[in-house]
Structure 1
Amino acid sequence: MKNLVMLAVLLPLAACVEDTSGPATSASTSYGTQYDLTSFRGARAGQSEAEIMDLGYTAYRTEGLTTYWLNSSANTCARITTADGRYQTVTMIPATDC
């Protein structure tokens, strides 16, 4: 009887296995999304560039310590200013201002 109860409890859980082998359905990293990078504020610049690129952004232009990151497929742009090796300001702006 005890084994029957354990089987009844564990059997439904056997199908609850997460499949992580396929592509992710939403573009997100430990920080931002393809539509909003503001959570990168304070992050280390060198380590975060790869994550930003993984979200579909490319460095579109640079003005001093400010880089404009464009995601053309999401039609979004982020203006990121770096100071002391970290992203000091991260502002989402219209893609036309990139």
Structure 2
Amino acid sequence: MLTHRNVTLASVLALLLGLAACGQPATPHGASAPPAAQAAPAPQPAAAPSVADLRGARASSGESEMQTRGFTVARQRGLTAYWLHAPSGSCVRTVTSGGRYTTVDSVPASNCGR
């Protein structure tokens, strides 16, 4: 009886070593192997933060807030400034009158030199 038991253990050991040699992990009965790794999707450009709430803001506060939100002045002509949000490629125009932003709107990126 001892010989039969040794043969059975030897057979199981040979089977496990054979599976290991194949490079395939042994999975318990009923378990599924993990799915193959998939390539990560390409990152999407960041969306420009909303700036509509700056309409009517004091120009000095509005300028600071535009910078805080990631915009930089691309160009300026008089009291009209074009702000570029580089991560998204968005362009925003601000018009100042009476010390306040009277116009804050999105414009084509070409206005910011893109």
Please give the per-residue CA displacement for 1:46-77, whole angstroms capped at 9, x wherever unaligned: 01211110111001101111000101112111
Q: Secondary structure at the match of 1:74?
A: coil
Percent identical: 41
**Equivalent residue for 2:86, pick from 69, 72, 90:** 72
Q: For 2:74, which of 60, 72, 91 is the aligned residue?
A: 60
Structure 1, unpaired ranges of 5+: 1-32
User: Number of aligned pairs?
Assistant: 66
Structure with larger Rg: 2
Please report the RMSD computed on the Cα atoms of aligned residues, expressed in angstroms.
1.6
* TM value normalised by structure 2: 0.53
Q: CA deviation at 1:86?
A: 0.2
Structure 2 alignment gaps of length 5 or more? 1-46
**Higher RCO (C-alpha under 8 Å, 6+ residues apart):** 1
Structure 1 residue runs of 4+, over 4 Å off?
none
Superposed, which structure 2 residues align to 1:17-32 within 5 Å? none
In the alignment, residue 42 of structure 1 is paired with which amino acid? G
* Greater share of residues in strand: 1
